[in-house]
A and B are shown apart, each in its own frame.
Chain A
Amino acid sequence: MKLIFEKSVKGRDGYSLPVDSFDEVDIKDCIPDYATIATRKALSEVSEVDVVRHFTKLSKFNHGVDDGLYPLGSCTMKYNPKVNEKVAALNNFVYAHPLAPEETVQGCLEIMHDLNNLFCEITGVDQYALAPAAGAHGELVGNLIMRKYFVDHDEKRHKMLVPDSAHGTNPASAAMAGFKIVEVKSNEKGTVDVEQLHELMDENTAGLMLTNPNTVGLYDEGIKDIERIVHGKGGLLYYDGANLNASFGIMRPGDVGFDIVHLNLHKTFSTPHGGGGPGGGAIGVKNALTPYLPTPIVTFDGAKYHLVDAGDKSIGRIRAFWANFSVLVKTYAWILSMGADGLHNASEVSIINANYVLAKLKKYYRPAYDRYCEHECVLTGRDYKKYGIKTLDIAKRLMDYGFHPPTIYFPHFAPYAEETMMIEPPESESKEEIDEFIDAMVRISNEAKTNPGLLKDAPHNTPIRRTDDVLAARRPILNYDDELKLRDELKYRNEDINF
């Protein structure tokens, strides 16, 4: 559809500002010649009504959780409660300046302090830092903590073990923290190959990053051996909390022996994804690692709450100010609304949902691993190759049935996990919604055999259809001015941009 710049009309405006009554101040006296601009920067000229219509129309080109099942595996696209948005938007939070005097922000600090205690209880570790802005940010912090810990103990450990089933952020985070990545293969059951781990883990290795349940939705049943092997060689065990939704009241990473845990508040704890963020990536550790947490930490002296520097051993600061505070409020609200029983029920239902999908669909889409899963299952489109159909085609066809596709082509490791669809139906999805999804998947299976063209050309009912991603990368147009330079070459018709 048209860009906001294409709706611009000279002389139009959409803002209202207080009258400039500072006649006694001359801007020329304020800004030195070396910093003065010659011409004002052109942005756009549209009215408030234009803006409201433009973005309302844009919103209709998006699909959200409120529109229906959003079964993206490892993304935990659960319902984002409305009341949480309301309480996070209370004036005394929204207008709180991060550097306002401590006595004026006691409410904020109390929530942060309380949340720390709840996180510790839920995951079985001793102290959290709430600063990380996202899961990957938490991973980076966790790796920096490991690095600092070993430097402090005069140990040279430069390697990090990462399973092949790990999210891409794991190896990327460890690399950012200066570690050399050593990949651990999955075995035929889809979990960590304990024998290989035993061979790889040595005194030069800082530890293992593990998602458990892992990205194929399977609990690593060798966890006790894994723990013994890593700790036996003096390493640390890192828990990637991307899949924590399977574990409330069932398994606490701290009890299992994990030393560092990160949480994804925008997955497990119901805060919205916002089309890519913001989320939260709180990082928790066992006592031995507390001194290394990033700054700041919230403390309570019995009367008042304080933001304190994490101390000399801390890895330091990882962002400006303290945390994604409004995300923390939503998280807090969700935990209080769920209670201990609700949390447990959430995990139970999410596990039942995933196994139900697996049971119903496994005769249509061969599972990567035919065993009970946790909160997500991995099916494959391998058997449709003979009809010329790829998993991508199945995913695109699902859109025509009103569903967002699952995560596709991840994880990917031959020979089991190829042409994968990682399906996560969280606890907020009803049986009826899941049955409709299953029904659509069964129909697509049939279509793939009888009318594969329908899938190859899919989607048919979405605002736009399949995109030319190769062209996008080969001829980068990364803003409207890039487009303007190529106007003659592009030759868009009116209906190509105005739809």
Chain B
Amino acid sequence: MRYIPTTEEQKKGMLGEIGVSSFRDLIEAIPTDVRFKGKLNVPEAISESELEEKIYRLSKRNADFFPMKPLIGAGAYRHYVPEAEKSLLQREEFWTSYTPYQPELSQGTLQSMFEFQTYIARLTHMDVVIPSIYDGASATAEAALMSLRLTHRNKIIVSSLLHPHYRETIKTYIAPHDTQVIEVWHKDTLLNIEKLKELISDDIACVIVQNPNFFGGIENLTQICEITHSKNALLINAIAESMSLGVLRSPGEMGVDIVAGEAQSFGIDLNYGGPYNGYLAARKQFLRQLPGRIAGETVDVDGKRVFVMTMRAREQDIRREKATSNICSNHGLNILASNIYLSLMGTDGLYEISLLNTKAAHYLEKLLLKTGKFERVFDYAFYNEFLMKSKNSIPTVNRKLLQNNFIPPLEISKFYRGEEFKDVLLFAVTEVLNKDDLNRVAEILSE
């Protein structure tokens, strides 16, 4: 077997050196009656060429996705990933290494974490950044748990326009903690401010708001923050589409306490839902309650500037049940992916792509209205996702789009009940759709 270098002859020799006559002697601690007898019902090994062919064939049972441009986002966005990034990610020193516990052999990983922490701190205007929690949903759930520890309160308020998967994840994480989750139902396409004012009280640990929200709507976080802080609760801002940070006012400038973001848009492919990468960004005073690994700067014995994992007294391998979280392995390689992506895009690139996404989405919205086959359900300020009610049946729309190599938008009634959501679609637009593509979409759907 090509992945196992030891030959049968060598095995015998090694057993001899160990001082046993057979392998069985080494597993004498396993009671014989609990040992597995017989042979696993796992297919016989196949060759590398057969493997490639088999998985290639399986991949062909999917749609031919490369040329299919998504009109759907809802927490996962197809942006172009530059080849320079993909090529760099293939360097084995990055992807075959372990968690950087030994800084002398891990400066590549550690410095990359530190650089990504800098990018996110700058984009969000927050002080400290945890570069990797599994994904946006689990990062948001961790932020919710953090707010309970920080405030010692037992209720949290969650916007109904927080991604449905994120909301469900919070409920799962919070279930053992004797905490009430209160959902604030939206008013049209934004958080219901009046309702929030009614609900905010001294026992609320945090208010969790996604921005842009699940409908693409741009929330007034400054206002939400004032209401939240009036009772000393924490404002947690979930960001499912981090590319929006290129054109929107930063959470830090609007008073947000903790950002729970999904960095998938920064150079991470769709991959049928994962692995992506969640991050947390917070004000400095919350540092010791943050979960997960963080890189910090120090010096080595020669006085060189170097990077290490730091503030480790929060982590499970040191604090065990008193740790701020159980997280150990995270989505580290995706920190590097996003770091390379943001380095390539730079100051202007991130602004321009974010601008392009916003403008292209608004262009499509107007175009769809012109077809006469769609109507606005709500008139609202959105980033790159928007709701549209279809006059044609949804299956017809989906079929037409699929036939023309577009992944259809999200049928919002899958997540939101109510008459107003019947036949309503959530469209998403990114830079992979150029003007011709958008014109083509309108043309197909005007028939």
**Given A4-B343, A136-B328, A321-B75, A55 contacting B118 (CB threshold 8 A):** no
**Given A18-B431, A55-B340, A467 contacting B331 (CB threshold 8 A):** no
Name the one of A1, A58, A325, A476 contacting B311, with C-beta atoms under 8 angstroms: A476
User: Which 8 residue pairs spanning A and B have beta carbons closest together?
Assistant: A276-B332, A178-B176, A339-B45, A321-B273, A274-B333, A98-B273, A64-B96, A278-B275
Instruction: Compute how far the CA of A35 lies from the CA of B225 in the bound complex, rounded to whole angstroms.
Output: 13
B220 touches A35 (CB 8 A): yes
> Which of B74, B87, B112, B434 lies at the interface centre, i.e. has the most chain A CB atoms within 10 A of its CB?
B112
The proximity string for A residues 451-479 relative to B, scoring 1 for CB distances below 8 Å and 0 otherwise, is 00000010100111111110111001111
The proximity string for A residues 20-38 relative to B, scoring 1 for CB distances below 8 Å and 0 otherwise, is 1110110101111011110
B14 touches A17 (CB 8 A): no
> Which of B11, B295, B402 lies at the interface centre, i.e. has the most chain A CB atoms within 10 A of its CB?
B11
Which residues of chain B from 210 to 247 have any CB-CB distance to chain A below 8 Å in the complex?
218-223, 245-247
Instruction: Compute how far the CA of A497 lies from the CA of B222 in the bound complex, rounded to whole angstroms.
Output: 40
Which residues of chain A from 303 to 337 have any CB-CB distance to chain B below 8 Å in the complex?
315-327, 329, 332-333, 335-337
Asked if B10 CB lies within 8 Å of chain A CBs, one says: yes
CB neighbours of A468 from chain B (8 A) = 298-301
Which residues of chain A from 137 to 167 have any CB-CB distance to chain B below 8 Å in the complex?
137, 139-140, 144, 147-148, 167
Q: What is the size category of the interface that chain B forms with chain A?
A: 35 or more
B42 touches A122 (CB 8 A): yes
Instruction: Compute how far the CA of A499 lies from the CA of B88 in the bound complex, rounded to whole angstroms.
Output: 21
A274 touches B272 (CB 8 A): no
Which residue of B is nearest A344, CB measured?
B40
**Given A276-B100, A323-B274, A134 contacting B327 (CB threshold 8 A):** yes
Name the one of B27, B68, B353 contacting A17, with C-beta atoms under 8 angstroms: B353
**Given A70-B98, A278-B333, A348-B23, A471 contacting B299 (CB threshold 8 A):** yes
Instruction: Compute how far the CA of A45 lies from the CA of B41 in the bound complex, rounded to whole angstroms.
Output: 55
Asked if B137 CB lies within 8 Å of chain A CBs, one says: yes
B304 touches A318 (CB 8 A): no
Name the one of B114, B132, B248, B272 contacting A31, with C-beta atoms under 8 angstroms: B248
**Given A43-B345, A56-B88, A319-B137, A404 contacting B306 (CB threshold 8 A):** no
**Given A122-B42, A136-B329, A277-B329, A472 contacting B317 (CB threshold 8 A):** no
B72 touches A97 (CB 8 A): yes
B348 touches A352 (CB 8 A): no
Of B161-169, B371-379, B416-424, the segment with at least 4 beta carbons within 8 Å of chain A is B161-169
Which residues of chain B from 35 to 51 have any CB-CB distance to chain A below 8 Å in the complex?
35-36, 39-46, 48, 51
B301 touches A465 (CB 8 A): yes
A87 touches B52 (CB 8 A): yes
A342 touches B4 (CB 8 A): yes
**Given A62-B106, A473-B296, A352 contacting B23 (CB threshold 8 A):** yes
Asked if B97 CB lies within 8 Å of chain A CBs, one says: yes
B408 touches A101 (CB 8 A): yes
Name the one of B6, B35, B100, B297 contacting A250, with C-beta atoms under 8 angstroms: B35
What are 15 A-B interface contacts by the 8 Å CB criterion?
A27-B355, A43-B346, A98-B270, A181-B321, A223-B31, A224-B33, A273-B98, A276-B293, A319-B274, A320-B136, A320-B165, A340-B43, A374-B26, A462-B104, A478-B296
A338 touches B45 (CB 8 A): yes
Instruction: Compute how far the CA of A482 lies from the CA of B284 in the bound complex, rounded to whole angstroms.
Output: 11
